[in-house]
Structure 1
């Protein structure tokens, strides 16, 4: 009896144990589970690895490398924080004299940078027709552009570049030198001759000459041609495009070119833009046919210098003495970019509502957008007084290659290697060849 009772208890206990094991295995798949401590926390999820993107950026003004290096570092941090994208920016900044040729070679050989600078007036039409420019009309930066600036980067009804340098420029002059000698900015060629003579009488060199880089003497032609064409030959561009005009019609451009070249500093072919800025800042010459884009370099050498911007006289008709009003260096995005989304992010960051004012102010650039809140510079205010009087013109649109040809020829002209007639003949041919190539 005792044995039977013991057997029954053993079977009952075994069944209970089996039952408990079956219930436990129902929720764990047969695996033994160790209860978690009451105060334990879920394991943290590892952050997703950052996406790596490389951008190639081509910009034609090496004098601003430090500023853009710093600004691009800010963009990289922003892109990493907001989108977890680790951006590498390969910045290429060749000398301005070689930049355009290098870029055109890259574009034509299907090796386009993701972003690149170009001249709004001189380059946009030909680059757009060649398919090198993306439509930026719907990008966030576009809505804030000032209307007059927006027009300069619009082609075929589309915004195709972001404007960097909006310019009101003529020549630079040392205000202290002018004030000390009782001089005012001349409004005619004869008045300029008188200013030159008074400067020389007081042992002051009239003009800084820095012809080591061909684009600098070309500025004299740009201003003189702009003033004469706008005031005396308003249909000259159209006639040239039709083969019905010549540079001989506007040969008075040489009046002011000769005055500048014959009354300047020595050894100009040993002086480029950097040394020219230093020389002008240190008072080596009273005037420099150069744009206010050199302001940062000039003030870096002499923070106390006071300089003004005045229109270059081109004849004895004051109506031709005009400020050049234009947009020059602009930034475009290649349609073939493999990282177009990030390229567009960088493009828009150039006019970021929060950060771009500090960048443009440091570069000494004019405001180009409603997002810019900094005060304009004194030399810009001076130039704008002429603009408000109607004494300004939009930068002339010359065929591709003509500006570069003018630059080379003016270097040769100073060195007395070519005559005026030879320059006229060469520029007429270059213009005609460029029009033919477009057809």
Structure 2
């Protein structure tokens, strides 16, 4: 989903490989500003808000450049921009609206494809070769309401919270199925001098995770038309207030210190080191966690939000997806890259290195243990599709829940801010 991330400001990464193929008339020129190609050179602009995975994207882009040189005799320069997730959405929207669009950009499939497509920013990819490779279970997440496929999925997710299997086993704890059971697990951990939860709220998108978990579980156990009513200004987040703050208050009261000073990477390192037994976070941090501690045995379980075990469910989503700008000045090359993302020979190694789930029929690697943990819940019907909450609302939730943790906003203040954010979204998108 997403989705998901380091500090404020803009962290750019420019991958350069400009090798002009000789001198004279055949050398051509490079129009870097426009991203167009001339002769045997071309510039491709990419915008992917996953700086923690930079080394893997760097490597794959280098392979793409070698492929373009070998097959089309084009020397490619890739300008890769990797801002943190907290402000990436706003940066991207500004670029798209000001005719400064990257050729290829990442967006959240569930949260952003509908509004980006409506605004005319997305190239129709329905006839591209990669489409036939997509798993049937994944294809709908990058398909518009009128049947157009507009992105190649990267991250498919099955998530709730992460837990340290060794700690759970040593303490005789199994993943709780209700909020009361979670409180008992917390008490047992504290009695053993183990911190129950890692908390890392420095980046606003992290506390925001409580919102889709609480909303998704509530929607799928009774309040099924919540999103539709919010889209028509007929609902309120007060309907999920108890589900949202019941679990968040428990986490906040039983977690690591200085949460507003700890970002995602530091949280991953602390969780990897066994500083806490649980982390309300998704497996998209698996690569970072295992880089810190390759031997860590962790699992994924659904987060209880109340005392109804039927509401303790896994959130299923497709977050990070790659799209091509409809206004790209180097569209052919952008389409070449999009198709290379699911290349028959190279894609499996790329996705496996990223610790992403298989999304294509040509992906040959085995699913990871934590994926299998989550799928056990899915197999018995304990899952739901990530609720379609507008990104602007999620962004507001992140900031509001940071303020709530700091004691600067009450629960009612948070609810009012979220309701206002959704109504503002409706005004712009009607």
TM-score over 0.5 (shorter chain): yes
Deviations 1:316-361, CA, capped at 9 Å, x for gaps: 0011101011100100000111111011001111110100100100
244-253 vs 298-307, greater mean Cα deviation: 244-253
Partner of 1:378: 369
* Runs of 5+ unmatched residues, structure 2: 1-23, 28-38
Q: Secondary structure at the match of 2:378?
A: helix
Q: How far has the Cα of 1:415 moved from its partner?
A: 0.2
* Runs of 5+ unmatched residues, structure 1: 1-45
Partner of 1:39: none
Q: What is the aligned counterpart of 1:206 among 196, 200, 211?
A: 196
Q: How far has the Cα of 1:242 moved from its partner?
A: 2.0
Q: What is the aligned counterpart of 2:392 among 389, 401, 404?
A: 401
Given that 2:212 and 2:389 are in contact with CA atoms closer than 8 Å, whether structure 1 keeps it comes out as no
Partner of 1:179: 169
Change (3 A) 1:319 1:98: same
Q: What is the aligned counterpart of 1:193 among 183, 189, 202?
A: 183
The answer as to 2:311 corresponding to 1:303 is no
How many Å separate the matches in 2 of 1:363 and 1:312?
24
Q: What is the aligned counterpart of 1:52 among 12, 33, 41?
A: 41
Q: Secondary structure at the match of 1:122?
A: helix
Deviations 1:371-411, CA, capped at 9 Å, x for gaps: 10000000000100000011111011123411101111000
Q: What is the aligned counterpart of 2:345 among 334, 347, 354?
A: 354
Deviations 1:56-95, CA, capped at 9 Å, x for gaps: 0000110011111111001101100001111110000011
Q: How many residues align?
A: 394
How many Å separate the matches in 2 of 1:400 and 1:258?
24
Q: What is the aligned counterpart of 2:113 among 124, 127, 132?
A: 124
Q: Secondary structure at the match of 2:111?
A: coil
**Alignment of structure 1 residues 26-175 onto 2, 5 Å:** 51-155=40-144, 156-175=146-165
CA RMSD, 1 decimal: 1.2
Partner of 1:224: 214
Q: Secondary structure at the match of 2:46?
A: strand
Q: How far has the Cα of 1:429 moved from its partner?
A: 1.4
Given that 2:154 and 2:322 are in contact with CA atoms closer than 8 Å, whether structure 1 keeps it comes out as yes
How many Å separate the matches in 2 of 1:287 and 1:86?
47
Q: How far has the Cα of 1:243 moved from its partner?
A: 2.0
TM-score, normalised with respect to structure 1: 0.88
Q: What is the aligned counterpart of 1:290 among 257, 273, 281?
A: 281
TM-score, normalised with respect to structure 2: 0.90
The answer as to 2:333 corresponding to 1:342 is yes
Given that 1:399 and 1:435 are in contact with CA atoms closer than 8 Å, whether structure 2 keeps it comes out as no
Q: What is the aligned counterpart of 1:323 among 314, 317, 321?
A: 314
The answer as to 2:237 corresponding to 1:238 is no
Larger radius of gyration: 1
